[in-house]
Structure 1
């Protein structure tokens, strides 16, 4: 990943609703279709960073782009085009009918300077913002973006994955406006409790009654549930921060996203 890209990246389900918070640039994957017809042999996926609506702003670059087919086999992906604002993947659907996971993989970002203040990571470039008791730390950023697409008849979605991810408990091809959607935040397939998941509705530039970004806390099973108010695209995001196991002065900040399509009621 280039330093230019990293510098531009900044970095609510069980229903404990927390206050909404403005988000910086978020990684996302957006396919040209979430449900491909059986005769279709590929989908095109946009990979970028955006703030708010899913409009490409900073191209996503990754050495670990991949697709996992219905057969569970992983296939590395190389972008068909890398522009300034977005990368584009032509994802083959060669494993036949079923549901595929398209992922950026785990992307290691830059090492930033921060402080630990009252147990929380704080970034500031101004010396005058320092407070007594601040503990200087280094923060290593990690990002991951996922999306599920289906060719023909849908299939299982529980693939063998690593790292922090947002797993769709409610199948991603069965999401409808006004109905509960449940997802699980997990790391190496183990649930993460007490993490904050943000729900971001796309297309807010075009509506008079905007949907605010909402934050929810995961329960003991790592799960959250919410009811999307309207059909459309939604970006789900979680950020997990903790000290490195072997170095308390190094913190790991992992941001994971999942793009989903919510259908209108039949």
Structure 2
């Protein structure tokens, strides 16, 4: 897997851009115990969680409350979105995930740890820069509680954003705790962008909230309004086997914040 080809250092904790970010959005975050499934929308969008480009993945899966992993096959694949029907055979907390997705390979110019993506054939590295390629790897997650919440599924080995506090117990004005992990280890100083999906309707647009992880990889988020939020983080690192290749890992987590 690509993540195995990364050097432990240096890591470039890139400022994430929300343009066409991957997301998973269930039709219900807390379905009652009698409901046998949820439907999950998977797409790329610019923070609004309105589908724009359908997400494709080879590793769709759900982690059930007992820790077992269930492979998922899309129920529908449209131009703007992919739809998953996730069976809920157990009571408790599920993690639904795209798994790691290998995206596009882009040409870029590297100076130190600064990466500048090249636009078109006429855009060339400057004399002080080195030509490299950047491989995009993305992951999107969302948590659904069937009936009553249970212990959170153990974090995957993949780079990702994982909740510490119960994601079904997120309320306005209260702290929501998440961790950024790679291979089960905390990522310090990772920038986490918090995009309010309702911001597109605001008369006066506000900049997305940005928080930074501590030494334990933990970040605290407090939402001022109820609704859906997309958390995104990105880390870039050089390949251990190819000095001209960097891996850009992007992870998102969709949260529902409830009113008090």
Pairwise same-fold verdict (TM > 0.5)? yes
- The corresponding residue for 1:83 is 78
Does residue 1:117 correspond to 2:97, yes or no? Answer: no
Give 5+ residue unaligned stretches, structure 1. 1-19
After TM superposition, list the pairs within 5 Å mapping 1:127-206 onto structure 2.
Answer: 127=122, 130-206=125-201
Q: 1:22–1:213: 8 Å Cα contact kept in structure 2?
A: no
What CA distance in whole angstroms lies between the structure 2 residues aligned with 1:132 and 1:59? 39
Residues 227-257 of structure 1: per-residue CA shift (max 9 Å, x gap): 1110100000011100012222110001100
Task: Write the distance in 2 (CA, Å) between the matches of 1:72 and 1:226.
Answer: 27
Deviation of the 1:170 alpha carbon? 1.6
Q: Is the 8 A contact 1:49 1:58 kept in 2?
A: yes
SS at the partner of 1:139?
A: strand
- Separation of aligned partners in 2, 1:60 and 1:191: 27
- What is the SS of the residue equivalent to 1:173? helix
Tell me the number of residue pairs that the alignment of Structure 1 and Structure 2 aligns. 245
Mapped contact 2:16–2:191 kept (Cα < 8 A): no
Matched, 1:223 2:218: yes
Partner of 1:106 in structure 2?
A: 100
**RMSD, aligned CA:** 1.5
Residues 235, 174 of structure 1: alpha-carbon distance in 2 compared, 3 angstrom cutoff: same
Q: Is contact 1:201-1:211 (8 Å) kept?
A: no
Secondary structure of the 2:195 match is: strand
Structure 1 residues 228 and 129 mapped into 2: Cα distance closer, same or farther (>3 Å)?
A: farther
In 2, distance between residues paired with 1:154 and 1:223? Answer: 22
**Structure 2 gaps, min length 5:** 1-14
Deviates more, 1:206-215 or 1:247-256: 206-215
Residue in structure 1 matched with residue 6 of structure 2 by the alignment:
none
TM-score after normalising by structure 1: 0.88
Q: Which moved more, 1:202-211 or 1:82-91?
A: 202-211
SS at match of 2:168: coil
For residue 117 of structure 1, report the CA deviation from its aligned partner. 2.4
Offset at residue 21 of structure 1 (A): 6.9
Counterpart of 2:200 in 1: which secondary structure?
helix
Residues 72 and 160, structure 1, Cα contact 8 Å, conserved in 2: no
What's the offset of the Cα at 1:203?
1.4
Distance 2:209 2:130 in 1: 30
